[in-house]
Structure 1
Amino acid sequence: MGKNDFLTPKAIANRIKAKGLQKLRWYCQLCQKQCRDENGFKCHQTSEGHKRQMELFGMNPHRVVEGYSEEFETAFMEHLRRAHPFSRVLAKNVYNEYITDRHHIHMNATRWLTLTEFVKYLGRSGQCKVEETEKGWYITLIHKDPKQQLEEERRNKRSEVEREEEERHMAALQEQIERAKRARLEKGEPLSEDEDDEEAHTLQRDEIEVR
């Protein structure tokens, strides 16, 4: 490269492109890596760093997606409070403002597949007043008392913890039942009618799936 190549029109254009937003489908959220074209994205997918990130994602994909969803929601709402605290505004305009940061959490990494789904969630969760019009979805921030909001967050966290605890309890109980049934079968002890019917139903279902 010559000493003046840095100032060529092509080099300047490349630097401008690197600073701006690129196509969403060439962005890797796990690695926070923006690729400039399809070939670059394919090369990134074969890199060791990306493979390591995919292995970590595979260990607990639900937790990763939920984490990105929380970050996206928090950042979106912070922008809405700062830029449009009392305005009725088109949701797509707020979203376009939010994504001007090239390192924002991308929506395709969250549990919401579309902006419409996210807007409806904001309405159901009581964070925004939402209205569907011919121009699109309008949102208006709902201002809550700080104490009330804190109590609501605590209540939601308690509900989530209780739900997870119940799921773990049911899974452990089911495992205990299965172990007891296997132990009785190994000893040659007969199962009760309910257990026998359940076992037959399970075997029948397995046979259908194999076919």
Structure 2
Amino acid sequence: MGRAEVGTPKYIANKMKAKGLQRLRWYCQVCEKQCRDENGFRCHTQSESHVRQMLIIGENPQRKIAEYSEQFKRDFVSLLKSSHGEKKINFNKFYQEYIADRNHIHMNATRWVSLSEFVKYLGDQGICKVEIDPGKEGGYTIAYIDNSPESIKRRDLAHKRERGDKDDLEQEQKQLERQVKKAKMESEELKKRKTKEGESEENKSESEDAKYTKELQRDGTQPIKLALSFGKKPTATATATPKRLKLK
């Protein structure tokens, strides 16, 4: 049974059925054909056109795999750069965005066996910044690294501006520390001055008291001192009645 002609209802129905993603194992990258089930894929692999393409690739399979790998990497990085720039994104989430185009290069046609191997390759080559994703989605986060001259110049200017702001902040902090130190020194000097003034006033008061005492001594009016002393208790003999004198 031949293919449906373009514009016929059967052709439109087939296009509607093929819309969207299908099973990856039923996709032929060589012929760029997506089959809807296993039977259709088996029939396609037995077709004359597919066998002819496989014979051509069989002459140098490594070269074809390298071409697919390079195109897969180029399309992947180009979409990452245009859609997210240098922002971080979960790798699995972005891969779903990449394969949303049913005509993309599939990973099973490249030299990378798994997504983990491919994301590690991007990190090792310095193409993307790869980190472990601590969020709910898990896996890895990737961020495109723009190494173009314009981007490098922009980053240098940003670093210089950041260093300038940091130097200004350090100078402000040093100036503030100097002001605080100066205020502390002035406060200590003020305390010392007040202490000396208090001691000098006390010494002045004591000197005035001493001067007043000397003036009193000079005038003969010395302070009166009271000394109380109690005598001994009289004895029995001392208190006895004196003897009467005999009159002749």
Same fold by TM-score, threshold 0.5 exceeded? yes
The DSSP-based 3-state class of the residue aligned with 1:36 is: coil
Equivalent residue number for residue 40 of structure 1: 40
Structure 2 residue identity aligned to 1:144: N
**1: CA distance, partners of 2:97 / 2:38:** 26
Q: How much does 1:20 deviate?
A: 1.4
- 1:76 maps onto 2:92 in alignment: no
| 2:67 aligned partner | 67
Amino acid at match of 2:64: V
Amino acid in structure 2 at the alignment position of 1:111: R
The whole-number CA distance in structure 2 between the counterparts of 1:46 and 1:87 is 46
* Equivalent position amino acid for 1:113 in 2: V
**Match in the other structure for 1:119:** 119
**Match for 1:137 among 135, 140, 152?**
140
Corresponding residue for 1:154? Answer: none
Q: Does the 8 Å CA contact 2:45/2:51 hold for their aligned counterparts? A: yes
Letter in 2 for 1:98: Y
Please give the alpha-carbon distance, in whole angstroms, between the structure 1 residues aligned to 2:15 and 2:112.
Answer: 33
TM-score (structure 2 length as normaliser): 0.53
Q: Which residue of 2 aligns with 1:16?
A: 16
Report SS of the residue matched to 2:131.
Answer: strand
What CA distance in whole angstroms lies between the structure 2 residues aligned with 1:70 and 1:20? 25
SS of 1:55 mapped into structure 2? helix
Q: Secondary structure at the match of 1:16?
A: helix
* 3-state SS of 1:138 partner: strand
Higher helix content, 1 or 2: 1
**After TM superposition, where is structure 1 displaced by more than 4 Å over at least 4 residues in a row?**
none
CA shift, 1:103, in A, is: 0.8
Q: CA deviation at 1:15?
A: 4.4
Task: Supply the distance in 2 between the matched residues of 1:35 and 1:145 (Cα, whole angstroms).
Answer: 41
- The 5-angstrom pairing of residues 1-211 of structure 1 reads 6=9, 15-134=15-134, 135-146=138-149
* TM-score (normalised: structure 1): 0.62
Structure 2 alignment gaps of length 5 or more? 1-8, 153-248
Aligned partner of residue 129 in structure 1, secondary structure:
strand
CA displacement, residues 2-33 of structure 1 (integer Å, 9 cap, x when unaligned)? xxxx59xxx86x64321111100000000001
| Partner-residue secondary structure (3-state), 1:21 | coil
Distance in 1 of aligned mates of 2:42 and 2:120: 34
Q: Judging changes above 3 Å, is the alpha-carbon distance between structure 1 residues 70 and 147 closer, same or farther for their aligned structure 2 residues?
A: farther
Larger radius of gyration: 2
**Matched letter for residue 136 of structure 1:** G
Q: What SS class does the counterpart of residue 102 from structure 1 fall into?
A: coil
Point out where structure 1 has 5 or more consecutive residues left out of the alignment.
1-5, 150-211
Alpha-carbon separation, structure 2, partners of 1:115 and 1:145: 26
Q: Which amino acid aligns with 2:50?
A: H
* In structure 2, C-alpha distance between the alignment counterparts of 1:67 and 1:147, rounded to whole Å: 29
Alignment CA distance shift 1:45-1:114 (3 Å):
same
Q: 1:131 to 1:53 in 2, by over 3 A?
A: same
Counterpart for residue 203 of structure 1: none
Show CA shifts across 1:93-147 (max 9, x none): 1111011111100000000111111100000100111012351111011111349
